Amino acid sequence: MTRTKSKIVYLTPVSAEAKSQFYFDMSLLHSCRILEETEDLYYVESITKGCSFWIPKIGNMDWKVEK
């Protein structure tokens, strides 16, 4: 059985809303799995599986993409 490695992106919360989500839904863990990807967006799921959302690769006011 071949297992493919998950793509990971690291997010840092910037806005108050993102900081709340980071604390309550992501258990203060920066790593997220990339479930889907377009030219401009990532669809990510937190490592804790507490939340999933679309995030722009650049120019986001809520999250800083560290990758």
Say how far apart CA 55 and CA 37 lie, in whole Å: 10
Q: What is the pLDDT of residue 2?
A: 60
pTM: 0.86
**Residue pair 14/62 in contact by the 8 Å Cβ criterion:** yes
Give the sheet arrangement for strand 52-56, strand by strand.
52-56, 41-46, 31-37, 8-13, 63-65
Model pLDDT, residue 5: 81
Domain ranges of the chain: 8-65
Instruction: Give pLDDT, residue 1.
Output: 58
Residue 40 near residue 57 (C-beta atoms within 8 A): yes
Q: What is the mean pLDDT of each run of 10 residues along the chain (67 residues)?
A: 81 97 96 97 96 93 91
